[in-house]
Copies of this chain bind each other. A is one copy, B any other.
Amino acid sequence: MGKKPGAPSERVRAKRMHERAIYDRAVIEAILDAQPLAHIGYVLDGAPVVTPTLQWREGDHVYWHASAASRMVDHCDGAAVCLSVALLDGLVVARSAFHHSVNYRSVMLFGKARAVTDPDEKAARLAAFINRLFPNRWDMLRPIAKQELKATSVLSVPIDEASAKIRTGGPKDDAADYALDIWAGVLPLRMQTLAPIDDPLNKPGLAPPKHVLDFRIG
Contacts and interface: CB of A to CB of B under 8 A. Distances in A.
Interface of A: 11, 15-17, 37, 39-52, 54, 67, 69-71, 80-84, 86, 88, 91, 93, 95-98, 100, 102, 104, 106, 108, 110, 126-127, 130, 133-134, 138, 140-142, 144-145, 148, 151-152, 170-171, 173-174, 177-203, 206-209, 212, 215, 217
Taking the full assembly, how many copies of this chain does it contain? 2
A51 B116 CA distance: 26
B203 A185 contact: no
A91 B130 CA distance: 11
Nearest first, the 6 A-B pairs at minimum CB distance are: A41-B48, A41-B50, A192-B192, A39-B39, A52-B86, A50-B84
B41 A41 contact: yes
Contacts of A190: 191-192, 194
17 contacts: A16-B70, A17-B67, A39-B39, A41-B48, A41-B82, A50-B50, A95-B141, A96-B142, A97-B127, A97-B144, A140-B182, A170-B199, A171-B199, A185-B212, A189-B192, A189-B193, A189-B217
